[in-house]
Each structure stands twice: as structure tokens, then as C-alpha cells.
Amino acid sequence: MWLPYRLTQLLPTRARVRKVWYSSPLFRSEREFKRRWTIARGDHSQQVEQHAHPAVTLCRIIGNDLFPRQQTGQAVANLKTILQRESNPHEWRKLFILNRFIDLDLQYEAVELIREAGHSCEVIGFEPDVYRSLRYRPEIFGGLDYFQSSEFKVKDPFCQDRERIWACGEKIRYLMNINGARNHALALGRICSDWTLVLDGSCFLTHTVFEALQSDLSASPNVPYLIVPMRRQAEACDLEDLDVSPTHREEPQIGFRSDATEQFDEAYPYGVRDKTSLLNRLGVPGPWCAWAPLDWHPEALTRSTDRHLYKFGSASVVRLTSGVANGSLEQVGAQMKRYRSRITAIFATLKAVDQQCEAVDAGLLAGITGATSTL
């Protein structure tokens, strides 16, 4: 299935022409011009006074390990690394959101580690009864038979994955709750901070990054969003020695000023544009700009009133290793391997939790994922 699909990449379809354009330096230059023009002609700079030393909440979302994308226990292992080795030169508030932990012993361990380190911790609990009340929704696409139909099979594997995830979306939104947790963190940060940085759970800031971001937040232009680049830790080394120069190769993290109007769209389940939908609304350049709208989810009003009102961070946060395959999944050229392992992990986790909670519709999952599923 995959080999013929790869061979079709040689065909100059409209989608591939779009991909080439949106990944080109010319497109990035055009988008940068729009950003600067929007900032120069707007009155947004009058909304909030710029502080030389803004109050900052640094939020991280920590959820269940999703094998084989992450090694079992890796989330807490990375949490320990952050608590033990990350500095805090500007006394930012650190907030950790423990998101739907299934293993209560692991959750308890994480809570104790965070509180012993003197940081804030919020728990979004997992309730088996709530999970049991949720259902798979193959009827969104016409029913279970659709996933075995010729109409489905002729679609490219990425489209198939999106449709499968969306059919499982009701359970994924609850169990993985990625945008719900991000928005919860954002709401808590806005209460007491000028800026709230919402990071994925395994993101680490070196001393150099703290200094750079502190400067970025108080520097011109005075806009409500900071787009923070990210790099991946591919091998064991001294974290403070890592290259943290800005890069556009990875999906960035996002910082929100207290007056920012946007938040993450909770309609998107983990695995389908959960963060990139917001990046696209804000006009941040990246591969997501080339992605066609989802046929089953209208996106007519995707342009934000804050579109182009962002600035880029001058240093990259570091995403700690997932602990799988000796760090090979974190290599620059491993995007496809990461993608496939993430998709497999989503469905494997659903299967395991269905069994644990004795979900009445557990049998539908195999029909949605198909006979070739690697569950």
C-alpha cells in the first residue's frame, strides 16, 4: 500500500503544487511581509502596556505515555529531568497540567514530584464512567462499511488516518484531551500573568532559552502571540550544550499575551491538526498552510481577528527524547516514522482503555482502523 503511494509523489497534482509553494522561501517571505504590514498599520499596540519584566506562566501539558510513540514511563522520566535540571532565572511561574492519567499511581508520583519542587500542579482526572459513556462515530462517514469501501481505499493514507481518528474523535477528545488541557492551562495562566507559554509536556528550556524568551516577550513589536521554535533532543548529552538557535523544521510552541483572543480549537482531536489549526488561523507559515480543509468539518471562518499579530522567539525550546529506539525517532529525517508511530499509538491506546473500561462498542474500533491496523 505504501510503496505505490510513494511512487505517486512524482505526479504533479494540484495538492503537490500547493505543497511546493507553501514550503518555498518565496511564500515565507510573502507571509513575513503580511505580518510586518499588519503590525505596522494596526492599533493593537495600544491595548496592553509593554512591561520590561512581564509576569510569565510557563505551562506544560503532561499526559499518558502513548506506546510505541513514547516509552512507558517516559512522561514522568522527562518530568524529573525538567524539575531537576531546568533553571528559572526570571522566576517565572511553572504550571504542570496532568492530563487524564489512567495510571493513578503514576499520577500520584508526578503530583508529589511537582509539589516537592515548589511548582503549581493541576490534575484533569480520568473517569472510567465518563469514558464508557462515549462512542465511536463511524456514522459521520456513512457507517462502518465505509472504512472497507473502495471509496475509502483509494484515498491517500494520510486522509484515511484523519478520517479514522475523527470517527474515534469523541473518545480521543476525552482521553487525550490535548486542546482541552491546553485551554485550561491558558485560562489559569491568564489569571495572574502578562504572558502564558503553553508547551508540550516534554519541552525543556535551557538557561540561554530563558534569557532569549524573556527578552522576546518585552521587545517590539508589541503583539499578543509569541511563536516559539522547537528542536528535538536526538541523543543523550548535556542539555545546556544543545543547539537552541531558531528553526522552522518542527511545529512550534505558542505563547499568549493576556489580551490574546485566540485559544486552541477543541473540535480537533489529538492527531488531527490540534495545534496547527490555530497556527493556520494566525497566519503562521508552515506546511499546514498547504493542507486542504477537512470535508466533514467546515472551516470557513478560520481567519482570526488576530491574524499576523505574532512575533517569533529568538531561541528554540528543546523537546526531550521519547525514549524509543535510542532516540532515532527524534532525528531530523524521522518525521514519517514519528507520524506512523503516533497514529499506531492513538489506536493502541484506545484499544487498551476500551478493554480496561469494558466499553460496549469496543468491537467497532477494529472495523474503523481496518484489517491492516498494527494494533
Work out the average pLDDT over 141-148.
96
More confident residue, 234 or 277: 277
Give the least confident one: 9-13, 71-75, 196-200, 246-250. 9-13
Position 203 scores a pLDDT of 96
Domains of the chain with CATH codes: 54-369 (3.90.550)
Query: C-alpha distances in angstroms, 265 versus 77, 229, 280, 361?
Result: 29, 21, 12, 27
Read off the pLDDT of residues 258-275 as tens digits, 9 standing for 90 and up: 999 999 999 999 999 999
Report the C-alpha gap between 270 and 224 in whole angstroms: 25
- Rounded to 5 degrees, φ, ψ at 111 are -60, -45
Report the C-alpha gap between 36 and 309 in whole angstroms: 9
More confident residue, 203 or 69: 203
Contacts of residue 6, Cβ cutoff 8 Å, sequence gap at least 6: none
More confident residue, 337 or 15: 337
Read off the pLDDT of residues 214-260 as tens digits, 9 standing for 90 and up: 999 999 999 999 999 999 987 667 898 899 999 988 999 999 999 99
Position 327 scores a pLDDT of 55
Q: Could you tell me which of 266, 182, 171, 216 has the C-alpha nearest to residue 50?
A: 216
pLDDT over 90 percentage in the chain: 72
pTM: 0.91
Position 336 scores a pLDDT of 84
Residue 373: pLDDT band with limits 50, 70, 90? very low
